[in-house]
């Protein structure tokens, strides 16, 4: 039986700590609350759910927050103007452009326009580079949430075989960098990896961020591995699930994240930490 890595519980505790810190600093000499501005372009249903979650998190942490909703046919110029207005506003600590953007808007070009000191997603090339060389200002929320959850449960990374599945800029690549920085021995696997099982079966820590329900079955997992499922999929039964076949893998693992209630809430708590950091630091 594996220990369940209870991201929902840990995230709740982190948000309470943030709230305490905000109250304390407001009582000292901080003039205003931390502020997060979210830009949501179009009507993507999943994005709307995610943004509502961020709005709730900000409330829980005692932050002020606004969501700027723009129509799906918003042009590059309007979006750039919106970002620049927030860049110039000293009352805004963090700016988050919810992804995906509608077709026609170049996501990474837009994200480059966010002031690096307000880039709480850690998507700006300057911040990405700082993570890569090991001197981060911000750390991207999902991989940061994975590292924090491992830390909270006292799971060592140094010297361990860490296998990351998925090489996205948002999760897989920075995940591999953070595990490397923590002295893990890291393999970054992806859709072209040959003999994937040879990697996963050797993993002491397996992090899956692919987006394919049922991808990881018990025969692919080493006995007593730590299994972290970053994905959020809909299974054939319509229920939310990750990449890992939880039922068969859980008895073999030493620790495992549930989906939902694992990395999702941790990602959101880490966003709140990044906003807090922006407010404190800049």
Active site residues: 54, 98, 121
CB of 198 to ligand GUN, least distance (A): 30
Query: Applying CB under 6 A, does 57 fall inside the site for ligand GUN?
Result: no
CA distance linking residue 256 with residue 273, whole number of Å:
24
Residues 145-174 that bind ligand GUN (CB under 6 A): 170
Binding residue for ligand GUN, selected from 79, 141, 232, 266, defined by CB under 6 A: 141
CA distance linking residue 98 with residue 103, whole number of Å:
14
Query: Applying CB under 6 A, does 244 fall inside the site for ligand GUN?
Result: no
Query: Applying CB under 6 A, does 70 fall inside the site for ligand GUN?
Result: no
Burial class (CB in 10 A: 0-12, 13-18, 19+), 64: middle
- Residues contacting residue 198 through CB under 8 Å, at least 6 positions apart: none
Q: Which stretch binds ligand GUN (CB under 6 A): 17-25, 96-104, 223-231, 238-246?
A: 96-104
Query: Applying CB under 6 A, does 98 fall inside the site for ligand GUN?
Result: yes
Q: What is the CA radius of gyration of the chain?
A: 19
Binding residue for ligand GUN, selected from 6, 93, 121, 245, defined by CB under 6 A: 121
- DSSP secondary structure string, 6-65? -HHHHHHHHHHHHHHHHHHHHHHT--S--EEEEEEES--HHHHHHHHHHHHHHHHHT-EE
Q: Which stretch binds ligand GUN (CB under 6 A): 58-66, 92-100, 156-164, 214-222?
A: 92-100
Q: What residues make contact with ligand GUN under the rule CB under 6 A?
A: 96-99, 121, 141, 170
């Amino acid at each position: 039986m594996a220990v369940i890595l209870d991201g929902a519980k840990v995230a709740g505790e982190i948000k309470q700590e943030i709230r305490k810190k905000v109250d304390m600093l407001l009582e000292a000499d901080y003039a205003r609350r931390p502020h997060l501005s979210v830009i949501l372009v179009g009507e993507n249903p999943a994005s709307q759910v995610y943004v509502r979650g961020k709005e709730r998190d900000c409330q829980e942490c005692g932050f002020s927050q606004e969501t700027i909703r723009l129509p799906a046919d918003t042009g590059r110029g309007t979006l750039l103007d919106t970002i620049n207005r927030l860049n110039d506003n000293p009352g805004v600590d963090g700016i988050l452009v919810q992804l995906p953007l509608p077709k026609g808007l170049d996501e990474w070009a837009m994200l480059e326009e966010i002031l690096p000191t307000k880039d709480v997603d850690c998507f700006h090339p300057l911040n990405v580079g700082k993570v890569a060389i090991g001197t981060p200002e911000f750390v991207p929320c999902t991989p940061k949430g994975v590292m924090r959850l491992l830390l909270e449960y006292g799971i060592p990374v140094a010297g361990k075989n860490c296998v990351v599945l998925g090489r996205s800029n948002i999760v897989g690549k920075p995940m591999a960098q953070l595990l490397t920085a923590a002295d893990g021995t890291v393999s970054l696997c992806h859709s072209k990896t040959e003999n994937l099982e040879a990697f996963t079966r050797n993993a002491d820590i397996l992090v899956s961020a692919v987006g394919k329900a049922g991808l990881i079955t018990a025969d692919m997992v080493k006995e007593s591995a730590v299994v972290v499922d970053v994905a959020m999929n809909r299974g054939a039964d319509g229920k939310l699930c990750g990449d890992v076949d939880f039922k068969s893998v859980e008895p073999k693992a030493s620790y495992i994240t549930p989906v939902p209630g694992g990395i999702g809430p941790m990602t959101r708590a880490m966003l709140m930490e990044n906003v807090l950091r922006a407010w404190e630091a800049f």
